[in-house]
């Protein structure tokens, strides 16, 4: 099977099926972090065996999977073993080498595919795709310029002054606020590009933002698409801190636009799997109609973790369904929810001493759902887990979320 082959008639991989050798249906994932761990749990709940390819012997996903192939993502022997074990394969993060996905797709269904993951790995290509489908998605990017050479930098300095103030972002490997520098002037832009090692970048115009939001979409091999309602996100230091997932978290018309745009982007990319599209909400008086597309993640996303507790099908359930060719149920949210990210900072007292947070006090509060990822070492800025608060209405979950934030010293709730 070559990548890009017609998979619209793919035979579903059912959990109870076996191959010619009597091996149970096994789903594979590249990457052993928390997203991989939650994927493994979702697959195992349906009855699948699972395999994780990840070099870290203590990885959260590897520790709970039936098989852990402890090797690098470009190791031919490891990839051959993964392909031999698995009937379908996915990835938990976008920086797995695209060539790895291409290699695996020669013999196994791989979702998402190498081509679309390669686009998500490069902001230049990603923005070009968003621009190309703006007519169908109805949403554009913020104005930007590509800077890969001194000549392109000079062109921006001479002819694109309207892009300043702006944010200079590396084209590759930027996440959670990394690889980004805010620049106010032409001199600051030149200095920032030098600071980033003259690597390929995009310069984005800073817009008057009022909020950030994201939409999770799942698309099957047959083109079926389902989606969750958009959620409003609050970032602190470039890292997601809070997700608001309840009716009224965003204006209804804007939420509808974001959802329609995310579905259109998934279709434009011929995407298979779970896709998160992130948007900026801008001043309604601007030329952008209140919404611009920022970036996408070809996988489940931190902002969708609330779906584990507040919906009848989580983003990880849909990831399993999509890759295995199972029907995609339209998820239904049964409870308003707020998700609070738990970084390693929570494990440190004011004097810098390591200590266990007071989970007993937190879990006494109604509607609290604690998810810790099984990471063996807490470090400042490291994602260690999350808390979802559910309840009968937005007011009640907000009250409990505020209390939890006070107990644990969590940031980002000023936007609540």
Q: Which residues are annotated as a binding site for ATP?
A: 123, 169, 174-180, 204-207, 212, 235, 294-295
Annotated binding site: 123, 169, 174-180, 204-207, 212, 235, 294-295
CB 287 within 8 A of CB 12: no
Write the DSSP symbol of residue 142.
Answer: P
CB 220 within 8 A of CB 328: yes
Please give the biggest Cα pair distance in the chain.
67
With a CB cutoff of 8 Å and minimum separation 6, the contacts of 192 are 168, 181, 183
Write the DSSP symbol of residue 196.
Answer: T
Encoded tokens for 152: 């392109």
For 265, other C-beta atoms within 10 Å of its C-beta total: 23
For 227, other C-beta atoms within 10 Å of its C-beta total: 23
CB 339 within 8 A of CB 306: yes
3-state SS class at 77? helix
CB 262 within 8 A of CB 138: no
User: In angstroms, rounded to a whole number, what is the distance separating the alpha carbons of residues 66 and 68?
Assistant: 7
CB 293 within 8 A of CB 277: yes
Residue 52: which of 41, 66, 68 has the closest Cα?
Answer: 68
Residue 111, CA distances (Å) to 2, 102, 225, 245, 260 in order: 13, 11, 14, 27, 22
With a CB cutoff of 8 Å and minimum separation 6, the contacts of 286 are 207, 208
């Amino acid at each position: 099977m070559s990548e890009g082959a017609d998979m619209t008639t793919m035979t579903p991989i059912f959990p109870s099926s076996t191959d010619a050798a009597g091996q149970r249906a096994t789903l594979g994932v590249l990457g052993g972090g928390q997203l991989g761990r939650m994927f493994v749990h979702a697959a195992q709940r349906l009855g699948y065996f699972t395999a994780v390819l990840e070099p870290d012997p203590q990885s959260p996903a590897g520790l709970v999977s039936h098989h852990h192939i402890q090797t690098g993502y470009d190791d031919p022997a490891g990839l051959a073993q993964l392909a031999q074990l698995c009937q379908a394969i996915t990835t938990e993060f976008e920086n797995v080498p695209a060539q790895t996905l291409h290699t695996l797709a020669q013999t196994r269904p791989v979702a998402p595919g190498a081509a679309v993951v390669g686009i998500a790995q490069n902001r230049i290509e990603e923005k070009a795709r968003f621009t190309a489908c703006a007519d169908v998605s109805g949403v554009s990017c913020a104005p930007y310029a590509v800077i890969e050479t001194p000549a392109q930098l000079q062109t921006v300095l001479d002819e694109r002054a309207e892009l300043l103030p702006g944010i200079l972002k590396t084209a590759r490997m930027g996440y959670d606020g990394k690889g980004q520098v805010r620049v106010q002037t032409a001199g600051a832009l030149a200095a920032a590009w030098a600071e980033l090692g003259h690597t390929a970048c995009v310069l984005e115009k800073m817009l008057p933002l009022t909020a950030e939001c994201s939409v999770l979409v799942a698309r099957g091999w047959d083109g079926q698409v389902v989606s969750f309602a958009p959620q409003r996100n609050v970032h602190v230091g470039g890292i997601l801190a809070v997700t608001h997932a309840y009716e009224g978290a965003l204006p209804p018309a804007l939420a509808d636009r974001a959802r329609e745009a995310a579905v259109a982007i998934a279709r434009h990319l011929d995407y298979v799997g779970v896709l998160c599209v992130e948007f900026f909400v801008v001043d309604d008086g601007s030329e952008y109609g209140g919404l611009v597309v920022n970036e996408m993640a070809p996988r489940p996303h931190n902002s969708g973790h609330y779906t584990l507790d507040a919906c009848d099908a989580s983003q990880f359930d849909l990831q399993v369904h999509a890759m295995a060719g199972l029907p995609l149920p339209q998820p239904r949210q049964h409870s308003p929810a707020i998700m609070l990210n738990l970084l390693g900072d929570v494990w440190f007292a004011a004097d810098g001493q390591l200590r266990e947070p007071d989970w007993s006090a937190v879990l006494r509060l109604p509607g609290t759902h604690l998810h810790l990822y099984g990471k063996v070492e807490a470090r400042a800025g490291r994602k260690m887990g999350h808390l979802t608060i559910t309840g009968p209405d937005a007011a009640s979950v907000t009250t409990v979320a505020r209390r939890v934030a006070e107990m644990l010293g969590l940031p980002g709730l000023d936007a609540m």
